[in-house]
Amino acid sequence: MDNIEHVNVIGAGLAGCECAYILAQNGIKVKLYEMKPLKKTDAHKSNDFAELVCSNSLKSDSLTNACGLLKYEMEILDSLFVKIAHETRVPAGQALAVDREKFSRNITKIIKEHENIEVIEKEVENLDTPNEITVIATGPLTSPKFLLEIKKLIGGDSLYFYDAAAPIVEADSINMDIAYVMDRYGKEGEGDYINLPMTKEEYFNFYNELVNARQAKRHDFDKVILFEGCMPIEEMAKRGDKTLTFGPLKPVGLDNPKTKEKNYAVVQLRAENEEKTMYNLVGFQTSLAFPEQKRVFRMIPGLENAVFSRYGVMHKNSYINASKILNDNFSMRDNCNIYFAGQISGVEGYVESAASGLIVAYSIISRLNKKEFKLPDTTMLGSLSKYISTENKNFQPMNANFGILKPLATKIKDKKEKYKKLSDIAIRDIKQVKENLIKN
């Protein structure tokens, strides 16, 4: 291994913690810089690392789901993120949802107590050591000062989009005389969701107020670019008066067991913590002003007396045009000592962010060992690497999805069968990657 004193990791979010942990576990000293608790963004609430800002859901655990496959690949490669997620999970059907406070607290404890990690509480403003190996994992909420440094580093303006978070209500304030506990079709779990049924009249009353509600002031937000993966519900609703009934309010498979009738729309609530004292309004990311959220969302049957533990917020998310800047190992083409990881690198989502940190860590480890680290594009990890490093004039952040995997040699019409085949190949190939790492 090359004789280096340490690797710098800037940012103790999901990507930074995952990267620092993998490096440290492999005997590499890490200096982990984090500006919290000295400084926070408007979206951050906790002092802990790896804070889940938007939702507590890490998507499906099924291997025929792209994000489920990604998590499994990460687990094979000893991911801290996936390990702690399983330890702190809360019921959510086939989805892997976590108690977000325990999740962040557990990761923070492991990182701070690791003998190979030095945590430095400091806002990094400049890259003073360009010759040291440095991982920029400052996330989509990078501080303005350091964002300017990044813009200088990449030789142009950073791209950006706006992201939105859903509100959370107290469980005791939900009217269970109206609501009912049930999973869609009764197949996804054991009653992990609370459902709020709506008649046609109730839905359109709600819809009309929603699309006309007052939004929060954006102050210096000069241009709104909304990312499809986290579209505010009021913006989605403006696309058509029935759009929500085909999206987050889809009633299919959720017939009301109390009335034995089909609903026109259904709002789903998902447990926010293990104790089920708080519930997240699924798909209700929003940029409405707080008083408007209280007024409009209380129009939903069952939430007429809702107590909000947290209102939805909208925040600016920054990311670089990775397709012009990064190699497939997330290092810069112009400076191989500098790596990007997390959402700022052009991946989108909690799991994908942590995955990029894992990829960067193994890339650095292999480099220091003078070994090649190549993730095949038959794997979800490899496909994300390929996506962010392939030039694209319309580059946008990317979630894990089967569309980015290397296509099968033979076409399979049945979607589930196709996804299973793709997953089988990915798992086979990621296990080979793990064997190669062990040999190295």
Together in a domain, 17 and 92: yes
pTM above 0.85, yes or no: no
* pLDDT level of residue 221 (50, 70, 90 thresholds): very low
- Structural domain includes residue 225: yes
Together in a domain, 388 and 292: no
Strand order through the sheet with 89-90: 57-60, 95-98, 89-90
Q: Which residues are paired to 170 by β-bridges? A: 278
Which of 280, 312, 344 marks a domain boundary? Answer: 312
- Write down the pLDDT at residue 188: 47
Q: Would you say residue 272 has pLDDT above 90?
A: no
What total of structural domains would you count in the chain? 2
- Structural domain includes residue 1: no
- Structural domain includes residue 300: yes
Q: Measured at the alpha carbon of residue 384, what is the angle toward residues 283 and 139, in degrees to the nearest 5?
A: 60
Together in a domain, 139 and 45: yes
Q: Which residues contact 423 (CB under 8 A, 6 or more apart)?
A: 63, 64, 69
Lowest mean pLDDT among 223-237, 330-344, 382-396: 223-237
pLDDT tens-digit series, residues 167-212: 999 898 999 999 999 887 765 456 779 999 999 999 999 999 999 9
Together in a domain, 261 and 337: no
Q: Which residues contact 171 (CB under 8 A, 6 or more apart)?
A: 276, 277, 278, 279
Whats the size of the chain, residue-wise?
440
Average pLDDT over residues 49-66: 91
Which of 255, 286, 312 marks a domain boundary? Answer: 312
pLDDT tens-digit series, residues 309-322: 888 887 777 889 99
Together in a domain, 274 and 175: yes
Q: Which residues contact 52 (CB under 8 A, 6 or more apart)?
A: 98, 100, 103, 104, 350
- For the chain, what is the mean pLDDT? 90
Q: Containing domain of residue 196, as a range?
A: 168-312
- Write down the pLDDT at residue 335: 92
Q: Would you say residue 123 has pLDDT above 80?
A: yes
Together in a domain, 229 and 299: yes
Task: Tell me how far apart the terminal alpha carbons of the chain are, to the nearest angstrom.
Answer: 11
Q: Which two tokens stand for residue 368?
A: 């220091």
Question: What is the CATH classification number for the domain harbouring 188?
Answer: 2.40.30.260
pLDDT tens-digit series, residues 301-312: 999 999 998 888
Together in a domain, 155 and 257: no
Together in a domain, 59 and 175: no
Q: Would you say residue 103 has pLDDT above 90?
A: yes
- Write down the pLDDT at residue 199: 96
pLDDT tens-digit series, residues 130-169: 789 999 999 888 888 898 899 888 876 667 776 677 899 9
Together in a domain, 191 and 298: yes
Q: Would you say residue 44 has pLDDT above 80?
A: no
- Write down the pLDDT at residue 263: 94
